């Protein structure tokens, strides 16, 4: 009996041991692949992002707990639980947690998995240092766009960061055989003629601060008939490059522009200047291998003013060189350094628009200059206000900036105030520019409190050529204001707007927005990508009328709105066009002309004879614009602004004699502002083809029984033709005769029953 009792006692102990073991095993395993990073969105507080994966093995977690300690430490007694993230039922995947509600400083984080039976071990510890300044890295060099078969191509890239750390480089994409070293040296030997796209990236070691640089290399045969009898690269142009005081210039590029002579369709002689050779200086010396022909030489680089030979800023005044084969031409270049800038003090205050109280805010000044010689460290500068809302910042004299004030989110992800550009606009394309010439006070901002809503939408700005490439920049959402009951409209150009900065991969998101109908305008940060309006599923439009309308309610939209921006052709030349965009205000009184009012923020697009996008500009707040480096030939200018019909002008540049032109364009408030544009112009229901058209175009649309009125309107809103058709309902097709229309942009407007819509039409001649 006693022995049996011992056996039973032993079995009970074993059972208890197995039970205890089973209970211990029921706790989840620790999360894996834990990472932590901090990002710095423009105009907003730094964002801390933690990411981890649930363990693939072991019992399922029901939640994850996030712990944080101040400073860098492994002492678990110093950590505090700051958040709980529920686990997803049945799924073992990636989890993220982010917040803006962490002040500047150094912190340590870890994560644990939890279920009803216990908690896991902690993850590895991650340390983050959060600052109030956005950390950036930018390329300060440019790559050559020309190459030759069986000739080595080299480019030494250089990127600079505004914080300490080693910069590393890598090739993202490029032709077979191309390499990029960790130090940024790109090498390649082309084996065939063609057009090759290249993309490299640079990042600061140990961080996720990354930037990309992309360019195109046009590879040709050396024996390409360059204008000389031999048709070969048979001559040399070279020399030393110095500053005015005689010291050598150690960085930059020298470019040779050659004239091509031909005849137009009528047999008239034409001249076209275009860049054909570009080399990087080495130790203050450059050497161009060129074909026989006629050239102009240009130099550009960081830290000095770009010039044409001999010491002139204008292409028209540049020295013309006639180059013959088997000769070497010594062409020394002298440049003027950009002097250490005189810094001017800008002061202002950020206040609550209702109470007048000062706000703790960030004021960002972003340079609008396209001059490559400007120093990169002055391109974006920021100031932080004190507790009373006052700020002071030093800006370099001679540069032009736009300024925006924003209050970082202080309650998790919420921003309590709308951002504002100077002076009193939410639209960056209409911001008043500040040209720094003297100390200036009174650059003030009054911010409106925003309603806190759990809604919004987002997407990605992408390359239309390759949707896997994200395009960073700004995205503007315009709230379209409908007509009131008495038929009055909001004044054109006064639409409400919100703006966000994308991340490095082109991702954007609007949150806490006013419900309504929006159109979205993407503005890439750098060329050759051009701005455009979001159109569902196709390339971004250059006219606001063609933009897809986005309906925003009280809930966050789950649909991705990807803006597919297009590249310009990069057909560079020597021509320059400038002007201003305006509209007529008021009405004619006793025969007097209506006054002219400038239209700020207009989008100016230049297309060539084939309809390809050549270049673009955004008019400033005064309605003025300037487009540089246009090629010779006939081109078309389009001006477009929300609330207006587009304007178009033909620009002809046939020689250096008219390389400098002034073209101003008048916009007319839209006479079809209540017209609905079909949401997706690529659908089979609504169609207008061919477009562009020459002799005739076919219009297709869904109809209701009755009469359909089809009108063609000019860009100024004038009706040039009207047709009426009896329709039985269903899908209708009708032919439009365009033979009597001049080349340009038109709207085809259709009224059928209670429905009205319009489609854009381009006519070519």
Quick one: 160 and 290 in the same domain?
A: yes
CA gap 451, 443 in Å, rounded: 26
Q: Which residues contact 683 (CB under 8 A, 6 or more apart)?
A: none
CA gap 570, 414 in Å, rounded: 41
Domain holding 364: CATH number? 2.60.40.10
Quick one: 431 and 489 in the same domain?
A: no
Closest by CA position to 111, among listed 9, 174, 36, 13: 36
Domain holding 610: CATH number? 2.60.40.1120
Residue 677, domain member (yes or no): no
Quick one: 191 and 122 in the same domain?
A: no
* Preceding omega of 528 cis (within 30 degrees of 0): yes
- Residue 680, number of CB atoms within 10 A of its CB: 13
Whether 219 contacts 193, CB under 8 Å? yes
Residue numbers of the chain with a pLDDT score lower than 50:
1, 4, 7-8, 13-24, 223-231, 372-373, 410-413, 483-490, 586-595, 671-684
Residue 755, domain member (yes or no): yes
Please list the helix, strand and coil fractions of the chain in percent, rounded to the nearest 5, in that order: 5, 50, 45
Q: Which residues contact 295 (CB under 8 A, 6 or more apart)?
A: 237, 256, 257, 258, 259, 320, 321, 323
CA gap 552, 496 in Å, rounded: 14
Residue 536, domain member (yes or no): yes
CA gap 406, 415 in Å, rounded: 9
Residue 81, domain member (yes or no): yes
CA gap 480, 493 in Å, rounded: 11
Closest by CA position to 639, among listed 603, 673, 612, 664: 603
Q: What is the DSSP string of 127-141?
A: EEEE-SSPP-EEE--
**68-76 long-range Cβ contacts below 8 angstroms, 24+ apart:** 68/107, 68/108, 68/109, 69/107, 69/108, 70/105, 70/106, 70/107, 70/108, 71/105, 71/106, 71/107, 71/108, 72/106, 72/108, 72/127, 73/108, 74/108, 74/125, 76/122
* Domain endpoint, select from 547, 565, 583: 565
> In angstroms, how far is CA 494 from the centroid of its own chain?
23
Quick one: 657 and 549 in the same domain?
A: no
The parent domain of residue 106 ranges over 32-130
Domain holding 739: CATH number? 2.60.40.3080
Q: What is the DSSP string of 598-633?
A: E-TT-EEEEE-TT--EEEEEE--TTSEEEEEEEPSE
Assigned token pair, 682: 């690529």
* Domain endpoint, select from 447, 471, 489: 447
State the Rg of the chain over Cα.
31
Quick one: 386 and 438 in the same domain?
A: yes
CA gap 94, 743 in Å, rounded: 55
Closest by CA position to 389, among listed 443, 311, 335, 338: 443
Q: Which residues contact 230 (CB under 8 A, 6 or more apart)?
A: 291, 292, 325
Q: Which helix (H) or strand (E) holds 21?
A: helix 2-25
**Domain count of the chain?**
6
Quick one: 308 and 175 in the same domain?
A: yes
Quick one: 724 and 642 in the same domain?
A: no
Quick one: 356 and 435 in the same domain?
A: yes
CA gap 78, 71 in Å, rounded: 10
The burial class, CB within 10 Å (0-12 / 13-18 / 19+), for 699 is buried
Residue 26, domain member (yes or no): no
Residue 295, domain member (yes or no): yes
- Residue 296, number of CB atoms within 10 A of its CB: 23
Quick one: 347 and 461 in the same domain?
A: no
Q: Which residues contact 475 (CB under 8 A, 6 or more apart)?
A: 461, 499, 500, 502, 508, 510, 520, 521, 522, 523, 563
* Domain endpoint, select from 112, 130, 148: 130
573-594: pLDDT as tens digits: 667 788 878 775 543 333 344 3
pLDDT given for residue 539 in this prediction: 87
Cα angle for residues 495, 497, 502 (degrees, 5° grid): 155
Residue 7, domain member (yes or no): no
Q: What is the bridge-based pairing of β-strands 575-584 and 660-662?
A: parallel
The burial class, CB within 10 Å (0-12 / 13-18 / 19+), for 3 is exposed
Quick one: 157 and 231 in the same domain?
A: yes
Quick one: 170 and 265 in the same domain?
A: yes
Assigned token pair, 725: 């058709």
CA gap 483, 49 in Å, rounded: 43
Residue 18, domain member (yes or no): no
Write the Ramachandran bin of 709: left for phi over 0, alpha for psi from -120 to 50, otherwise beta: beta
Q: Which residues contact 1 (CB under 8 A, 6 or more apart)?
A: none
Quick one: 195 and 219 in the same domain?
A: yes
CA gap 607, 616 in Å, rounded: 9
In angstroms, the Cα distances linking 50 to 47, 206, 350 are: 10, 16, 32
Q: Which residues contact 7 (CB under 8 A, 6 or more apart)?
A: none
β-strand partners of 107 = 70, 128
CA gap 763, 696 in Å, rounded: 9
Coil/strand/helix, residue 41: coil
Q: What is the DSSP string of 643-674?
A: TEE-EEEEEEE-SGGGSEEE--EE-EE-TTTT
> In angstroms, how far is CA 224 from the centroid of its own chain?
36
Buried (b) or exposed (e) across 400-419, using 16+ Cβ within 10 A? Answer: ebbbbbbbbbeeeeebbbbb
């Amino acid at each position: 009996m006693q022995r049996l009792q011992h056996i039973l006692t032993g079995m009970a102990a074993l059972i208890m041991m197995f039970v205890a073991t089973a209970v211990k095993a029921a706790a989840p395993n620790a999360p894996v692949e834990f990472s932590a990073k901090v990002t710095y969105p423009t105009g907003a507080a730094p964002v801390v992002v933690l990411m981890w994966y649930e363990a693939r093995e072991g019992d399922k977690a029901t939640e994850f707990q996030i712990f944080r300690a101040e400073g860098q430490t492994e002492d678990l007694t110093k950590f505090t639980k700051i958040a709980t993230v529920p686990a997803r039922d049945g799924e073992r995947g990636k989890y993220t947690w982010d917040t803006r509600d962490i002040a500047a400083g150094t912190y340590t984080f870890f994560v644990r998995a939890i279920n009803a039976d216990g908690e896991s071990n902690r993850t590895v510890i991650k340390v983050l240092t959060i600052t109030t300044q956005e950390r950036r890295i930018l390329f300060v060099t440019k790559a050559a766009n020309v190459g030759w078969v069986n000739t080595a191509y080299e480019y030494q890239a250089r990127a600079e960061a505004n914080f300490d750390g080693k910069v590393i480089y890598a090739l993202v994409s490029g032709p077979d055989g191309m390499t990029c070293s960790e130090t940024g040296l790109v090498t390649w030997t082309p084996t065939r003629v063609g057009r090759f796209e290249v993309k490299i990236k640079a990042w600061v070691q140990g961080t996720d601060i990354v930037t990309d640089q992309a360019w195109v290399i046009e590879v040709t045969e050396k024996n390409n008939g360059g204008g000389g009898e031999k048709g070969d690269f048979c001559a040399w142009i070279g020399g030393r490059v110095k500053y005015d005081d005689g010291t050598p210039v150690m960085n930059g590029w020298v470019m040779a522009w050659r004239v091509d002579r031909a005849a137009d369709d009528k047999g008239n002689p034409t001249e076209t200047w275009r860049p054909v050779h570009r080399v990087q200086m080495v130790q203050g010396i450059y050497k161009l291998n060129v074909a026989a022909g006629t050239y102009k030489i240009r130099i550009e680089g960081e830290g000095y003013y770009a010039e044409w030979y001999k010491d002139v800023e204008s292409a028209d005044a540049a020295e013309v060189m006639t180059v013959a084969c088997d000769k070497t031409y010594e062409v020394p270049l002298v440049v003027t350094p950009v002097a250490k800038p005189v810094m001017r003090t800008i002061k202002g205050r950020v206040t609550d628009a209702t109470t007048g109280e000062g706000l703790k805010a960030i004021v960002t000044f972003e340079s609008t200059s396209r001059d490559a010689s400007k120093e990169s460290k002055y391109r974006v500068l920021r100031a932080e206000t004190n507790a009373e809302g006052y700020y002071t910042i030093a800006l370099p004299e001679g540069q032009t900036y736009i300024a925006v004030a924003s209050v970082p989110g202080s309650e998790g992800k919420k921003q309590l105030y709308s951002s504002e550009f100077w002076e009193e606009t939410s639209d960056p394309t209409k911001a008043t520019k500040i040209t720094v010439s003297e100390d200036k006070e009174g650059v003030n901002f009054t911010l409106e409190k925003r309603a806190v809503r759990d809604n919004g939408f987002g997407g990605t700005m992408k390359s239309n050529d390759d949707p896997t490439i994200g395009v960073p920049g700004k995205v503007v959402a315009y709230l379209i204001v409908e007509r009131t009951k008495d038929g009055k409209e909001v004044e054109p150009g006064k639409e409400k707007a919100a703006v966000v900065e994308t991340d490095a991969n082109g991702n954007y998101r609007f949150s806490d927005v006013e419900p309504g109908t929006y159109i979205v305008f993407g503005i890439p940060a750098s060329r050759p990508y051009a701005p455009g309006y979001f159109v569902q599923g196709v390339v971004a439009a250059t006219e606001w009328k063609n933009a897809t309308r986005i309906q925003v309610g009280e809930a966050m939209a789950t649909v991705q709105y990807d803006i597919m921006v297009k590249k310009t052709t990069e057909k560079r030349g020597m021509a320059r066009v400038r002007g201003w965009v305006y509209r007529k205000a008021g009405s004619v009184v006793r025969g007097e002309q209506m006054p002219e009012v400038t239209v700020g923020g207009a989008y100016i697009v230049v297309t060539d004879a084939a309809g390809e996008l050549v270049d673009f500009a955004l008019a400033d707040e005064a309605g003025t614009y300037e487009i540089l480096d246009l090629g010779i030939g006939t081109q078309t200018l389009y001006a477009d602004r929300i609330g207006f019909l587009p304007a178009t002008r033909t620009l002809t540049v046939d020689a250096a004699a008219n390389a400098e032109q002034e073209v101003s364009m008048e916009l007319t408030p839209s006479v079809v502002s209540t017209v609905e544009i079909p949401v997706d112009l690529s659908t089979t229901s609504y169609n207008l083809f061919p477009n562009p058209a020459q002799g005739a175009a076919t219009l297709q649309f869904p109809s209701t029984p009755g009469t359909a009125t089809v009108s063609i309107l000019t860009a100024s809103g004038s009706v040039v033709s009207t047709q009426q058709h009896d329709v039985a309902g269903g899908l209708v097709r009708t032919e439009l005769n365009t033979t009597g229309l001049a080349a340009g942009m038109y709207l085809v407007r259709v009224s059928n029953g209670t429905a009205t819509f319009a489609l854009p039409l381009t006519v070519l001649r």
